[in-house]
Amino acid sequence: MQDYEFTLKFTFSGSTVNPESYVEQLAEAGCDDALVGIGQNGRIALNFNRESDNAFNAVCSAIKDIKSVIPDAKLIEATPDFVGLSDIAKLIGYSSQNIKNMMLNSGVDFPLPVHEGNASIWHLANVLDWLKKGKNYQIDDSLLEVAKANMQLNITKESFNLDPVIRHQMGAILS
């Protein structure tokens, strides 16, 4: 068994319901390994340090525990996943300038961003894999495993918004 650290952010209906009312119930339902953030009505974030045989099971069991207390909870995001260069630097203990230079000097070899712009965003798992395999960086295996699980979870969550006909057509074009 290994410890996995991740955060799950949810929204739920009933914005008049104070999220604080769920804290004790969440602990009783198995979320006693999480710090609960309740800054905004209708939103809740839980930062887990969960022991499990793998990261995917850790994240899935946490979601099941949350939904047992808040059945209408809808996942906003599982983190770490979407990151900018400074986030990457912080997570692996390098300077932002070092990571930016690496990205600029690597050209097309650097993983493709999810969003390219003034502040580009990557899936953390893709960057960590590239650093580990392509650059021989020492990457924490549990961080990489959580990033991979969260990337799959976030992509799956977003895929529910796709029109099935368009998804099929786009799949044929993009593959």
pLDDT at 164: 87
pTM listed for this prediction: 0.91
How crowded is residue 148: how many other Cβ atoms within 10 Å of its Cβ?
19
Structure tokens at 99: 């990571």
pLDDT at 149: 98
How does strand 74-79 pair with strand 43-52? unpaired
> Which tens digit of pLDDT belongs to each residue from 122-156?
999 999 999 999 888 899 999 999 999 999 999 99
> Which tens digit of pLDDT belongs to each residue from 43-73?
899 999 999 999 999 999 999 999 999 999 9
Q: CATH homologous superfamily of domain 2-79?
A: ACT-like. Chain A, domain 2 (3.30.70.1150)
User: Which of the residue ranges 29-33, 91-95, 112-116, 170-174 would you say has the lowest mean pLDDT?
Assistant: 170-174
Q: Give residue limits of the domains in the chain.
A: 2-79, 82-149
Proportion of the chain above pLDDT 70, given as a percent: 98
The closest of 12, 53, 61, 2 to 32, measured between CA atoms, is 61
